[in-house]
Structure 1
């Protein structure tokens, strides 16, 4: 049995068609692929695929074989990658995660510090929701992340970087857009669009604010993230509350306005796994205050002071 037999079988099982597997994934002909599958079944000694008028499906034995075939191919891929990495000169790698849109403010200053600390570092970036970033830190998929201080994340340390004031975003032609500040009572009368569907920390801050000012904010629409929430604002004529950094993401048909009265804030943190032994990570943490100052000095957005 050869690896190509496993690859062919997995492709056919996943595509549900010999023709589609041959043309889309394997760059071979259907008759040739059929012969390879028959050879594989003869070697295994059982029927792996059931031929039907509309395609093929794995038999009970085929489903078991499929799981093992996928695992075998993954192991071969891992072995190959491991060998290649071993043969290559080792470079320091730093995996960073950001809330969607936040990298615009923090990444340039972070890269400047990185170039001083480790000029040859290889940087990988990802943007996800705050709970997803925290989970990636716990699993060792990320070295650092710019996120909210999520609760019950064992082993993750959160260093507070800033307190982000919340602002209201609304359509540019909304009747309240002419005001410099939005009153809490005005929010309660409008269609409310939630920007915190995947951010429990932000959701808690918003609900606490609503309770404090005596209003109810029950979302009629919910965005997956801040970007999608602002799209919903534009399309529905509603209003949303978002962290101040979202001003970097405003579309031309959406405007931002400050809130009147005591302004709620949500914490922005630099998160990392306390079990990490990366020397580079600890050098970056030692310069976190410098990073904060640089962002404050270079940005037109002003965060509240961290207490």
Structure 2
């Protein structure tokens, strides 16, 4: 099993389609399909289910996905550690991102540091917000772009964007016929909520449902966007997700705004105030100049 097999598998799951994943990986679809078959043969289990609406993970595939992501992150961390060891004179700025948000925010953040990039080493990682907060607390990250964690008051937070929650559903779902979704209609469909891996988002969703008098018992809780897309497609359920999820919608899934005032959630920069990194200080001084994606 090679690292490329893991990267290919993750790409297919996140794209929800072999065709889309092949385009992003700059490879042919037959070659990508062959690599996934080789991976499944080595694992000894079917990892993906192919259907007309795309692909979804099997139970074995979902379990494998978490470990595959961890392995890829660890390899990337090892590469960064080797680079830092080879260039000990350069200060390192270790940045973490809520998984998926780096696509929107990393280019803008690096532009803030354009005049310093040649003199520093950037270490990048992505994860769930609670894990990023723990990495900050342990000094393994200098700054993280994430959700504010209420059980980590020792960290400093600065909001850099407010993000609406949207309704995500199968592309041919009845609710997709309207330009916006009435909040009251959420209770009439299979509802997929986020799990404890995203406690800040879960609190916002639960508060919104309660404020609208909606008694919704989630049929499933999901740990990540890939799992959400798979379950939405396979169960024909609906979910409330932060707007950045639109960057990861496969063709079988679409989104609509909520009618009225949607629930909002902050996207923040977080750091440990005891961190004395001069590079971190420089970044924090420039955060007011950080424009939101699309601005």
Asked if TM exceeds 0.5, the reply is: yes
Query: Cα deviations across residues 57-95 of structure 1 (Å, max 9, x unaligned)?
Result: xxxxxxxxxxxxxxxxxxxxxxxx99x94x854112111
**Contact 2:198 / 2:223 at 8 angstroms: preserved in 1?**
no
- SS of structure 2 residue aligned to 1:173: coil
Displacement of 1:296: 4.3
String of CA shifts for 1:124-182, please: whole Å, max 9, x gaps: 21111111111110001111111111112142101111111000000001111111111
Q: Secondary structure at the match of 2:96?
A: strand
For residues 294 and 161 of structure 1, what CA distance do their matches in structure 2 show?
Answer: 8
Q: Considering only CA atoms, is the larger Rg found in Structure 1 or Structure 2?
A: 1
Match of 1:256 in 2: 255
Q: TM-score, normalised by structure 2?
A: 0.69
Q: Name the SS of the counterpart of 2:148 in structure 1.
A: coil
2:288 is aligned with 1:295: no
Does the 8 Å CA contact 2:99/2:128 hold for their aligned counterparts?
A: yes
User: How many residues matched?
Assistant: 214
Report if the CA contact (8 A) 1:114-1:121 is conserved: no
Query: 2:161–2:292: 8 Å Cα contact kept in structure 1?
Result: no
| Matched residue, 2:131 | 132
Specify the alignment match of 2:22 in structure 1: none
Alignment of 1:204-219 (within 5 A): 204-219=203-218
After TM superposition, give the deviation of residue 285 of structure 1 in Å: 0.7
Equivalent residue, structure 2, for 1:199: 198
CA distance in 2, matches of 1:101, 1:150: 18
Aligned to 2:70: none
Correspondence for 1:47: none
Secondary structure of 2:149's counterpart equals coil
Is the Cα contact below 8 Å between 1:207 and 1:217 reproduced in 2?
no
Moved over 3 A (4+): none
Instruction: Name the Cα RMSD after superposition.
Output: 1.9
Separation (CA, whole Å) in 2 of partners of 1:173 and 1:88: 53
Identify the residue that residue 14 of structure 1 maps to in structure 2. Answer: none
Quote the residue 2:239 is aligned against.
Answer: 240
Distance 1:209 1:185 in 2: 11
2:176 is matched with: 177
- The answer on whether the counterparts of 1:196 and 1:222 sit within 8 Å (CA) in structure 2 is yes
Q: Judge conservation of contact 1:157–1:274 (CA < 8 Å) in 2.
A: yes
Written as runs of structure 1 = structure 2, the 5 A alignment for 1:85-234 is 85=85, 88-234=87-233
TM-aligned CA deviation for residue 102 of structure 1: 0.5
Q: Which ranges in structure 1 are unaligned for 5 or more consecutive residues?
A: 1-80, 298-307
Q: Do the aligned partners of residues 245 and 259 (structure 1) sit closer, same or farther apart at CA in structure 2, a change above 3 Å counting?
A: same
**Normalized against structure 1, the TM-score is what?**
0.66
Q: Which segments of 5 or more consecutive residues in structure 2 lack a partner in the other structure?
A: 1-80
Which secondary structure does the structure 2 equivalent of 1:167 belong to?
strand
Deviates more, 1:215-224 or 1:127-136: 215-224
SS of equivalent to 1:137: helix
Partners of 2:201 and 2:215 in 1: CA distance: 16
Q: Which has the higher contact order (CA 8 A, sep 6+)?
A: 2
